[in-house]
Amino acid sequence: MLLGAPPPPITGTYGRRLDVKRMSIRGIAHLLGVSPAAVSLALHGSHRVSEETKRHVRQVAKNLGYKPNPKLAELMSQMRLSRHQPADACLGVISFYQSARPWENSMYLAGIYEGMSERADSLGYRLEPFWLRAPGMTYRRLCSILDTRGISGLLCLGSPEMDVELPEEFERYAVVTHGISIRTPLHRVIAASFSDIWKAMNQVHGRGYRRPGLVVSEYEDVRSGCSYSSGYLGWCQHTFGTSGSIPILPLNTVEKTLLVNWIGQHHPDVVIFVHHHTTLPKFSAVLCDAGIRPGVDIGVAVLTQSLDGTSFSGLQQNRRLIGLRTVDLLVASIMNRERGIPADPRIQIVESRWIDGNSLR
């Protein structure tokens, strides 16, 4: 074939010429002698098609230069939501917490659940909670309930413990979780812990502080994949050329003696305090009892779930947006007919919001 000459015509199973430049799913199906539905399922990675068929269809589509029409894909997505979605379309909500509705006892989970509910409602879904640890409930029984109700997507609120595996019974559903407490490689939405600590460090450095010290809850640090402690050390190394002259103070509870002695021994000019929001009143009281005035005697920047009702400056997690994005990921998986454990999990990162208080100069 001469250089620059058009490619030879490709003939389908019945001798019909196919236009490579306008290759469609229907054209690929005609060429392979299968149904358009089978090609669509293969291209979307459906579990209803064998791995061998998926590889073959994808390779042929690649060789033919097939590219999906984004406008058509957008239209089809809307049609699936508005026309083919039943009026009682439902997303299941599961968790490994000890209570049936853990968001009622946690401001953090309440914000996430609120975002989930808002986004699900805007897309025509409702949420239905299922308690995995309900008396008499088994994973097999719950799957039977899900199948009976036509629920194919699950939103997982995570677990109070780390490194929890998703039960294999749920691997035939589309599942999206948040945080990193579920070890199974799933699509997930996480808080931007690493970039948050860098943002806080840049904020205090920009305000003239030069001896930042980190006080961090070991529980919160572990649930961030140690992003807070590693981010702090990395920032110090990058900015000062050292991993930091002030050792990190790990505190699971706010203990006055440990905190005040650490401040007195190492003389930080600003404290980066990473802890659960419920400890902030105790932290404030400890500083007050020790005669330490935030923003006057020492700077304080807090990274937590919420700074509402406090005078601290810092970063609070965008819980509502985490919930919104979790539903977006799940609905996208359902629309793309993705089920089971994804080969390449998607992770969305949600940054926290900076709040100006009066604890920094």
Query: What does the pLDDT profile of the chain (361 residues) look like in tens digits?
Result: 343 444 444 454 445 444 544 568 888 888 888 888 888 888 877 767 788 888 888 888 888 888 776 545 544 555 555 544 554 689 999 989 988 899 999 999 999 999 999 999 999 999 999 988 888 889 999 999 999 888 999 999 999 999 999 988 998 899 999 999 999 999 999 999 999 999 999 999 999 999 999 999 999 999 999 999 999 999 999 999 876 679 999 999 999 999 999 999 999 999 999 999 999 999 999 999 999 999 999 999 999 999 999 999 999 999 999 999 999 999 999 988 888 899 899 999 999 999 999 999 9
CATH number listed for the domain at residues 193-317? 3.40.50.2300
Taking residue 208's Cβ as centre, other Cβ atoms within 10 Å add up to 11
Helix axes 280-289, 256-266, angle to 10 degrees: 60
Residue whose structure tokens are 């802890």: 275
Question: Of 249, 242, 236, 309, which Cα lies nearest the Cα of 275?
Answer: 249
As its CATH architecture, domain 10-68 has Orthogonal Bundle (1.10)
Q: Look at the chain and count its residues.
A: 361
Same fold, 10-68 and 193-317: no
- How many angstroms separate the CA atoms of 117 and 318, rounded? 15
pTM of the model: 0.75
Beta bridge partners of 39: none
- How many angstroms separate the CA atoms of 166 and 174, rounded? 12
CATH number listed for the domain at residues 84-191+321-351? 3.40.50.2300
What sign has the CA pseudo-torsion 175, 179, 184, 186?
Answer: positive
Interacting residues of 333 by C-beta distance below 8 A, sequence separation 6+:
153, 174, 176, 187, 339
Question: Of 181, 167, 177, which Cα lies nearest the Cα of 133?
Answer: 167
- Host H or E run for residue 47: none
- How many angstroms separate the CA atoms of 207 and 24, rounded? 58
Domains of the chain by residue range: 10-68, 84-191+321-351, 193-317
- Is there a contact between 267 and 239 (Cβ–Cβ < 8 Å)? no
